[in-house]
Structure 1
Amino acid sequence: MNLRKWMKLFLMSIMIGALASAVTGIVMMLTDQEFQVTGTSGWLFNIAMMALIGLTFGAFSHMGFFAYLMLNYIARSIIKRPYIWLSLQAFVAVFALAEIGYWTFESEFPTYVYWAVPLVLLVVSTLVAWRKTSETSSGAWIPTLFFLIVVTTVESVPAFRTGSISSLIFQMVPLFVCNAYQIMQLHRILGNEAKAPIASNPKTSKASS
């Protein structure tokens, strides 16, 4: 991944974060009259501020994405058997879902949150992972689920401490959208680079013909 592609991914991530935050905020304002991010009643001003906050979410998501890539690189270098690293990722993903239930059970959140949030996160992560595997290989299942579940949960920790379902949704949805976008773009960025040497190799072309 060169600098140009990295900058494009970063800029798209923060723009998607701004858009996702604005859309999520509008929905929250329509369903919850008390939901305001600035303490004022001006709709346009609130939407503009939510978009600016979304830029921060996008940047935060981008940091988490590259942190996961670094973790994955180090883990694959240390752990020589790939199935062990995959098993660890699967275990941590399940643990993260259980931890969400533990954080929200008998808390200031509504009673349904302790099972609804882990369930919704698992379902949408599975859908993205299914799309990822359909475009790549079956080996992408667990890493994609790990990234979307664990990293999104870690990035949303401040919202879990608020006890407000509106704040949790407003932060968690844009972060998940940004994470899903980045994990779906990864194989497209790396795939183009991987195919280039093969296409330019005359021996490969002759052998295939």
Structure 2
Amino acid sequence: MNLRKWMSLFGTTILIGGGAALITGVIMMVCDPNFQIGGAKGWTFNLIMMALAGLSFGAFAHMGFFAYLMLNYIARSIIKRPYLWVALQGFVAVFVLAEIVYWTHDSEFPPNAYWIVPLLLSVGSLAVAWRKAKETTSGAWIPTLFFMIAVTTIEGLPGFRSGGLWTQLTFTLVPIFVCNAYQILRLHHILTVPGTAQKIKTEAGSH
């Protein structure tokens, strides 16, 4: 990893965030004509605001990704037995899903949100973890699930505090999830040793 590769990852991530937010926002506007970003009125201004919000989502997701890599490095340095750190990540991922149920149950969200949100997040995270494990090692399963579930949820907290608007939560979580999926799946390609077919283990994987 060098500065050029890191900046390339950052730039691509924020662009993906902008594109994902724009697509998600258009779908939200089609489903709910009253859906607006920052009180914006009119399609053109709304689209601009959505794209700008997506760029900020991408930047925020990249900050979260960097924070996770640092946490992973520190934890693996302190915890001498790698399986303990992996088990802790698995526990936290399950705990976060339970917290989502708690946040959305008996709230202003639609009645089925308390199981739909964690279910969709789990299914999407499993798909990303499966791809990550397929391209790297089986040890990447739980760390990837932890990153996709726990970190995405933390980064998407404003959506859970948006007053119970289903569209607002979707608009927040989807771009962040897409950005995180791109970053975790892209990392091992960036760290691949040139001229060889062997990929080095990623910071999101385990020994």
Instruction: Provide the TM-score with structure 2 as the length reference.
Output: 0.92
Rounded Cα–Cα distance in structure 2 between residues aligned with 1:89 and 1:40 = 40
Structure 1 unaligned blocks of 5 or more: 197-209
Match of 2:141 in 1: 141
1:154 alignment partner AA: I
Any stretches of 5+ residues in structure 2 without a counterpart?
Answer: 198-207
Bigger mean CA offset, 37-46 vs 109-118: 37-46
Structure 1 CA distance, aligned partners of 2:141 and 2:196? 22
Residue 53 of structure 1 pairs with residue 68 of structure 2: no
Which contiguous aligned blocks of 4+ residues in structure 1 show a shift greater than 3 angstroms?
A: 193-196
Alignment of 1:1-209 (within 5 A): 1-162=1-162, 163-192=164-193, 195=196
Q: CA deviation at 1:130?
A: 0.5
Q: CA deviation at 1:195?
A: 4.5
Q: 1:21 to 1:70 in 2, by over 3 A?
A: same
Tell me the SS of whatever aligns to 1:33: coil
Q: What's the TM-score once normalised by structure 1's chain length? A: 0.91
State, as a whole percentage, how many aligned pairs show the same letter: 65
CA-CA distance at 1:192 after TM superposition? 2.8
Deviation at 1:52, TM superposition (A): 0.6
Letter in 2 for 1:134: K
2:72 counterpart letter in structure 1: N
* Higher helix proportion: 1
Task: Give the whole-Å Cα distance in 2 for the aligned partners of 1:56 and 1:193.
Answer: 32
CA distance in structure 2 between the aligned counterparts of 1:54 and 1:194, rounded to whole angstroms: 36
Using the alignment, how far apart are the partners of 1:151 and 1:194 within structure 2?
33
Report the Cα distance in structure 1 between the residues aligned to 2:195 and 2:94, rounded to whole angstroms: 32
Deviation at 1:41, TM superposition (A): 3.4
Q: How many residues are paired up?
A: 197
Q: Distance in 1 between matches of 2:19 and 2:142?
A: 28
Two-structure CA RMSD over aligned residues (Å): 1.5
Find the aligned partners of 1:82 and 1:40 in 2 and give their Cα distance.
Answer: 49
* Inter-partner Cα distance in structure 1 for 2:41 and 2:15: 25
CA distance in 1 between counterparts of 2:137 and 2:77 reads 21
Q: Which deviates more from structure 2 when the two are superposed, residues 187-196 or residues 81-90? A: 187-196
Looking at structure 1, the residues matched to 95 and 62 of structure 2 have their Cα atoms a distance apart, in angstroms, of: 23
Q: Secondary structure at the match of 2:6?
A: helix
Q: Deviations over 1:152-207 (max 9, x none)?
A: 000111110121111100000000000000000111011236949xxxxxxxxxxx
Once the two structures are TM-superposed, the CA of residue 45 in structure 1 deviates from its matched residue by 1.5
Equivalent AA in structure 2 for residue 13 of structure 1: T
The whole-number CA distance in structure 2 between the counterparts of 1:92 and 1:138 is 19
Measure, in 2, the Cα distance between the counterparts of 1:153 and 1:182: 16
Task: Measure, in 1, the Cα distance between the counterparts of 2:170 and 2:48.
Answer: 18
**How far 1:32 sits from its partner (Å)?**
0.7
Report the Cα distance in structure 2 between the residues aligned to 1:78 and 1:183, rounded to whole angstroms.
23
